Amino acid sequence: MESDDEVSSRLEQEYREVSHYPSDRRGILQPLLTSIDYCEAAGSPAWSVTQVGSGFRLNVGQVEVLTNRITCWDAKEFDLPKDHWFSDFRVLFSGPEAPALAQSLAKDFRVDVMNYKSVGQLHWCVNVTLCLGVPPSDPEWIKGMRALAAVQGAHEHFVAAAAHTSTGKLRQKSNFARSHCEGLVAYARRECARSASEVRISDLLWNEELTSDIVPGVDADWDSILWFSLTIDGYEVPNQENFRALECVLDLPGRASLTELRTSLFHFQRAWRWNQADAPVGDELLLIKRVVDEIRLRVAGQEFA
């Protein structure tokens, strides 16, 4: 049987395979931690997290309060250029604002009336799907995140109801405690505790997520620039052949975009990697630093388009 640490490490790898974007992983895991923290702040230890296939379910007392499943549209099956991953949430909610909230959410999302008898009051479940691998500015991503934020207060009302018995006593144990996965909770806390500038190899960042702390400084060495160059997948950028060369991107008509600059740097790193060359020096290094300087200027000016 795996230890909690082994489960935590395995899940970290699995979630990174689902998405190389830390923002995606936080989008999946932060709602879980927010609900756990609320339950604990209310004084109830009656929660547990169960692994459910490719996702998880948060249980409080006798019922589920939050479920997440990760699904994939297979590229071959659906004749797509690549696999598409989705994060599907089920969020239960109740309270005085819940009927109007259910009606409002139902305009864009599936909302079901639920019937967990132990809760002792009317409650609903909203189903929210987030498409992974899209920038934070994507309209559908924004819609999904706004829905999760809008339901949070009513969701906490449901968590509180699930944490109490019909006589008002605080429950002390989850009915699903035996299947609790502490390794998942540990991984979720570790993933969501990382700062925005704490980026690891193979993590990808959207333009909007770049800060001056992340972009290499004027005195950065090649190792720092090499690492930064891999925070974008240049192979996925449309028309990438137009700005693969560093000289080309600096000489583009008009002003090169942040994406064009980052893509050019990415392809230089790829060529350097496969040629097993020594670290760039002289004029070549100066050219690289010119591109990084331009990137830094775009980020400082919040020119993310």
User: pLDDT tens digits for 109-154?
Assistant: 999 999 999 998 999 999 999 999 999 889 999 999 999 999 999 9
In percent, the amount of the chain with pLDDT more than 90 equals 66
Torsion of CA 266, 267, 268, 273, to 10 degrees: 90
Q: What are the extents of the domains in the chain?
A: 4-193, 207-300
pLDDT at 49: 97
Distance, in Å, from the CA atom of 11 to the CA atom of 3, rounded to the nearest integer, reads 12
**65, burial (CB in 10 Å: exposed 0-12, middle 13-18, buried 19+):** buried
Answer whether 259's CB lies under 8 Å from 207's CB.
yes
243 vs 295: which has the higher pLDDT: 295
Rg (C-alpha) for the chain, rounded Å, is: 23
pLDDT at 170: 93
Answer whether 58's CB lies under 8 Å from 36's CB.
yes
Which pTM value belongs to this model? 0.88
pLDDT at 73: 85
pLDDT band at 241 (very low <50, low <70, confident <90, very high): low
pLDDT at 240 over 70: no
* Average pLDDT value for the chain: 90
pLDDT at 191: 94
Average pLDDT over residues 44-55: 93
